[in-house]
Structure 1
Amino acid sequence: MTGTFYRLTAKDFAVIEAMLMRRRAFADPIAPMLERKLAESRVIATGAVEPDLATLNSRVIFRAGGGSSQTRTLVQAEASAPVGSGLPVATWHGLCLLGMRAGQSALAERADGPAEEVLLEEVAYQPEAARRAAQDRAAERPRHVLKLVHSAPTADWPLGGRGKIRQTEGDDPGPSAA
């Protein structure tokens, strides 16, 4: 993960920071990669997230080590996505992809093996950009508001008739009418 510039939302940064604190305590081999990710990242506002930026819950299309393309959703934990569709950021590839823009590549340096190049081909779905687009569409739609244009006096009834509030004078049809 060297030589690459990453952009993280405040939430993504906090998730990686919390992971680092937990992993350092257990001398996890991914801790140095977490430290590099935080050091090489810039925190950006949620409103400034581009549609081609990989953040948590983004659906990404990537290629690792020259293999075939894979489509996954970057998730915080494996249990938060259907089996096989999620890529936790606690994995080498997931952590490497987080904060990258489409077309960007980086080396995922593993403690247990050789470094592997990870290329982010496309961000198929970006939640912050999708939310912003939905808000823009909602703001463009005209709001339908009911407006009272006429108020009739209480003495006037439709069609000149005089209505009754309650049935009186033995007009009750009884339970069979229900």
Structure 2
Amino acid sequence: MSNGTYILTTKDFSILEALCDNWHGRDDRLLVHIRHKINSATVVFRDDLPREVASINSRVRFRVNGGESDARVISTGQVDGPVGMFLPITTLRGLALLGLREGQEITIENIYGDAETIMLDAVEYQPETSRRERHSLSQDAVVSRGKTHLRLVSGGMNGRDGQSFGAADGFDDPGPSAA
């Protein structure tokens, strides 16, 4: 994995550390890349993660070696779902995309020893941004609940002289035929 700057949430960082601690019998080349990412990452709280950075559970659009664009959800690898929908961080490409910023490239050596350049085109969905937006909307709703909503209509009572809308005899029930 080439040198680069990565931004990880505290949660993503902890997940990578746990992978290192529980690595029994897996591909050691991936372990080297995980350690590199841990050692070179900038770690931030989830509320401070920029919108354009790929985190775990983000839906990303990327290209390999300038080829066709592909969209996947970066996962921990513990998700059961449709084949081809997820890209686990326990794969070279999934790990490579984790912590990248839109427009950033990374070069990795694939399992065949060939160099692959992976470009993160877009972060289409990021759980941290979604959480911030939901929180912001709920805060707006709380603020608006405390306000009295009154709509003034200019000329709304013109020609009515303050009269009530009931019938002249005070009985304004139209009866069952009105239903």
**Structure 1: gaps (5+ residues):** 146-178
Encode CA deviations 1:107-151: one digit per residue, 9 max, x unaligned. 123364122110000000011011101111111122269xxxxxx
CA separation of 1:13 and 1:116: change in aligned 2, threshold 3 A = same
CA separation of 1:26 and 1:88: change in aligned 2, threshold 3 A = closer
- What is the CA–CA distance in structure 2 between the aligned matches of 1:94 and 1:121, rounded to whole Å? 14
* Aligned positions, number: 145
SS class of match (1:29) = helix
Q: State the partner residue of 1:49.
A: 49
Taking structure 2 as the reference length, what is the TM-score of the superposition?
Answer: 0.74
SS class of match (1:118) = strand
Within-5 A mapping of 1:1-178: 1-23=1-23, 26=26, 28-77=28-77, 79-110=79-110, 112-141=112-141, 142-143=144-145
Query: How many angstroms does 1:78 deviate by?
Result: 5.2
CA separation of 1:125 and 1:26: change in aligned 2, threshold 3 A = closer
**Structure 2: gaps (5+ residues):** 148-179
- What is the CA–CA distance in structure 1 between the aligned matches of 2:109 and 2:99, rounded to whole Å? 16
Percentage of matched positions with identical amino acids: 34
- What is the CA–CA distance in structure 1 between the aligned matches of 2:145 and 2:91, rounded to whole Å? 46
What letter corresponds to residue 61 of structure 2 in structure 1?
I
Assess if the C-alpha contact under 8 Å between 1:72 and 1:85 holds in 2.
Answer: yes
- Aligned-residue Cα RMSD (Å) equals 1.9
Q: State the partner residue of 2:159.
A: none
Query: How many angstroms does 1:92 deviate by?
Result: 0.6
What letter corresponds to residue 82 of structure 2 in structure 1?
P
- What is the CA–CA distance in structure 2 between the aligned matches of 1:123 and 1:45, rounded to whole Å? 18
What letter corresponds to residue 53 of structure 2 in structure 1?
L
What letter corresponds to residue 143 of structure 1 in structure 2?
R
- Which stretch shifts more, 35-44 or 91-100? 35-44
